[in-house]
Amino acid sequence: MGYYDLKKLENTGEDKTALEKKHVPYIQCPDKVQKGEYFEVTVTFGKEITHPMGPDHYIQYFDLYADYASLARVDFTPEMKAEATLTLKLEESCDLNVYAFCNLHDHWEGSKSIEVVE
């Protein structure tokens, strides 16, 4: 794997690695939303294992995209919990993509498809 490669969930179920369990961004939001209406999206790190947050190892930031359109960036410090809830609205169905950076384990990606209905 190269220096600039993006890591994402390669395994599912019980065969997830410890790194995957605490680094892959987990996106919590409805599967279906109304066009143009606000809804909440919560992004956490570590669905099975909570990602540590300390001076030597922490999530520095994540970027949230609707397909390729940038929606938000959230920055963290070692004293913060690696979790954020954002309120947003969408105009069409898309994949919500989160790209995160861990100061020790580089870039990680999480994704969730969301359907927008009228």
pLDDT reported for residue 17: 81
Q: What H or E segment, with its residue span, contains residue 30?
A: none
> Whole-model pTM?
0.86
pLDDT reported for residue 15: 65
Residue 13 has pLDDT above 80, yes or no: no
Closest to 43 (Cα-Cα) out of 13, 17, 65, 68: 65
Helices and strands, counts by H and E, the chain: 1, 9
**3-state SS string for 63-117:** EEEECCEEEEEEECCCCCCCEEEEEECCCCCEEEEEEEEECCCEEEEEEEEEEEE
pLDDT in tens, 42-91: 999 978 888 999 999 999 999 999 999 999 999 999 999 999 999 999 99
pLDDT reported for residue 97: 96
Write the CATH number of the domain with boundaries 33-116: 2.60.40.730
